[in-house]
Amino acid sequence: MRKRIHHWLQAKRFFKSLAIFATLGVVYLSLKPPSPDAQPWEFLWFRGDLVLHFSCYFGLTFLYFFAFYTLTHPLMKALFASFFLGSSMEFLQLIPVFQRFFDWQDLLANTLGLVISSIVIKGFFNYSDSE
């Protein structure tokens, strides 16, 4: 099983292309002006946008890990790239042109998503190494 996963993750061009498109999508969605008729929503007791932030950066960290898999220290590079993108997007929202606003909770949800993703990655790949 480990050899199949390792061989599959060697397709670095596919994952790098996918990571670039996902990053461009996140940049667009983070900076586009909000819809004037957008209704706030909740998931359990969380604001809905926090769930989106968490899941987006959870997935991006996985994607960056796969894109950096053939390099040294891919998890650290994936964490840095995800954190840099998330914090950059939040701080760019301070610019009035984008008609968005900075929110510490969004930044916290981004960070929590990438931390949980890194724990899952470490758990899965440590387990697969011991097979």
Q: How far apart are CA 56 and CA 105, in angstroms?
A: 14
pLDDT of residue 98: 84
pLDDT of residue 1: 58
Number of domains in the chain: 1
- Domain of residue 115 covers 48-126
Domain assignment of residue 16, yes or no: no
Q: Which amino acid is at 63?
A: L
* Token pair listed for 56: 């987006």
Count of helix runs (H) and strand runs (E) in the chain:
5, 2
pLDDT of residue 49: 84
Element (H, E) at 46: strand 46-47
Domain assignment of residue 35, yes or no: no
Q: For 70-79, what is the mean pLDDT? A: 92
Mean pLDDT of the chain: 86
Q: How confident is the model at residue 117 (pLDDT cuts 50, 70, 90)?
A: very high
Q: Give tens-digit pLDDT for 91-108.
A: 999 888 888 888 899 999
Please report how many Cα atoms fall inside a 13 Å half-sphere around the Cα of residue 127, on the Cβ side. 8
Domain assignment of residue 103, yes or no: yes
